[in-house]
Amino acid sequence: MSFFDNFFGSASTEIPDFWHKIESEEDLEQALELSVEKPIVIFKHSTRCMISKSVLRNFEKEVKNSNDTSVDFYYLDLLNYRNISNEIAEHLNVTHQSPQIILIKDRKAVFNASHDRISLETITKYLN
| Structure confidence by residue, pLDDT tens digits, 81-124 | 999 999 999 999 999 999 999 999 999 999 999 999 999 999 99
pTM above 0.85, yes or no: yes
Q: How far apart are CA 30 and CA 25, in angstroms?
A: 9
Within a domain: residue 4? no
**Residue 111 falls inside a structural domain:** yes
Mean pLDDT along residues 14-38: 96
pLDDT at res. 84? 97
* Alpha-helical regions (H) of the chain: 3-8, 25-34, 50-64, 82-92, 120-125
CATH of the domain at 31: 3.40.30.10
**pLDDT the model gives residue 13:** 57
pLDDT of residue 46: 96
Backbone angles phi, psi at 87, to 5 degrees: -65, -40
Asked, for residue 118, whether it belongs to a domain, the answer is yes
Percent share of the chain, pLDDT over 70: 90
CB 8 within 8 A of CB 50: yes
Q: Would you say residue 36 has pLDDT above 90?
A: yes
In terms of pLDDT, which residue wins out, 32 or 128? 32
Answer whether residue 6 is part of any domain.
no
Band (8; pLDDT cuts 50, 70, 90)? very low
Range of the domain at 54: 16-125
The whole-chain average pLDDT of the chain stands at 90
Residue 2 in any domain: the answer is no
What pLDDT score does 59 carry?
Answer: 97
Rounded mean pLDDT of 39-52?
A: 97
> Residue 68 carries which side chain, given as an amino acid letter?
D
Q: How many domains does the chain have?
A: 1
What is the sign of the dihedral through the CA atoms of 44, 47, 49 and 54?
positive
Contact, 95 vs 89, CB < 8 A?
yes
